[in-house]
Amino acid sequence: MLASKLLAVVLGDEVLRILLIVNSAASSVTARRRVLIQQVLSTSHDVTLAETNRRGHATRLAQSAARDGYDIVAVLGGDGTLNEAANGLAGSTTALAPLPGGSTNVFARILGLPDDSLDAARTILDAIDSGSIERIGLGSVEGRYFLFHCGVGFDAAVVEQVEKRGPWKRWAGHPLFIYAAVDTWIRRVDRKHPPLRVIGQRGEELATGFFTVVMNANPYTFLGNRPFDLVREVDLDHPLAVVTLERLRLSSLAPVAVAALTGRDIRNKRHVDVRTGVRSLVIAADPPTPYQVDGDHLGSSRRLRFTWTPDHMSLVRPRAGR
């Protein structure tokens, strides 16, 4: 159904129904910008606005949109709001369209969208009108889908500390993450006893470590304008990559960080285990270890089961970002 509508759009004969979900609490969202973005999308299509007002709301809005036959759900917010909407759309034919409204906007930048949300809206509109919508694979952990990564261990502990200072996130942004990382490193992690075991689909132990990232897309994140590349070849069309840091010491982390920031392969660094083409795995933790999906802290667990599902969600995907 969506494919035939997109063909009609390309030929200029069809108006699509778009639900624009807005997180007004996101760091770079303003009332004026919301209005301008709605106007841009409304030049060619029928746009309905909905605002989130609590955690998990974007998932329910997206589910309702898919059930009601909307063609596209556009999300103006950060990666957390985008992840919620993706979980509402997974398995449906309604497409997701990201619009950067948070402090980092990792997934929008992975797709090559401009940092400015109004410019991004114009890029998304061009992609819609050219029929640039594709099915992508999604990773999941304990039934929660993720667009670009799930972090288990140290980075999730950092995200937990940032979320505890939620009101500051809108204004402090990257400095808050730096503060939380230093505070977590000094006061909140055991750097001597690795809590994680990475277990393959046949029950074999693949690695032990302090910090594991399960990736559905690369980069892992951005530091300013610089991508933090862990596994450059992983993308939305192929199975997961898994990176485990076997030691949590500056002497081990610094070479990995330098390589990731300069575009060099981290696989030749010591105390790093990298796996690609992964369709399922388990991470066992003792003691229970925090985890986060797409920058959203979900709690702590002793056992996390991961899977990858191909062609599981439609995405408005600008051609320049492939």
Q: What is the pLDDT of residues 197-225, one digit of tens each?
A: 999 999 999 999 999 999 999 999 998 88
- The residue from 131, 163, 187 where one domain ends is 131
Question: What does the pLDDT read at residue 144?
Answer: 98
Question: What does the pLDDT read at residue 178?
Answer: 74
Question: What does the pLDDT read at residue 174?
Answer: 65
Record the pTM.
0.91
In a domain, 299, yes or no: yes
Domain count, the chain: 2
In a domain, 101, yes or no: yes
Question: What does the pLDDT read at residue 111?
Answer: 97
| Residue 247's CATH number | 2.60.200.40
CA angle 22, 225, 291 (to 5 degrees): 60
In a domain, 314, yes or no: no
Question: Both 162 and 257 in a single domain?
Answer: yes
Question: What does the pLDDT read at residue 11?
Answer: 43
Long-range pairs of 30-37 with CB within 8 A, sequence gap ≥ 24:
33/76, 33/117, 33/118, 34/76, 36/118, 36/121, 37/76, 37/99, 37/117, 37/118, 37/121
Question: What does the pLDDT read at residue 193?
Answer: 87
Question: What does the pLDDT read at residue 320?
Answer: 67
What domain range is 52 assigned to?
2-131
Question: What does the pLDDT read at residue 231?
Answer: 97
Question: Both 124 and 163 in a single domain?
Answer: no
In a domain, 137, yes or no: no
Q: Identify the three-state secondary structure at position 113.
A: coil
- The residue from 97, 131, 165 where one domain ends is 131
Q: Which residues of the chain have pLDDT under 50?
A: 10-11
Question: Both 297 and 159 in a single domain?
Answer: yes
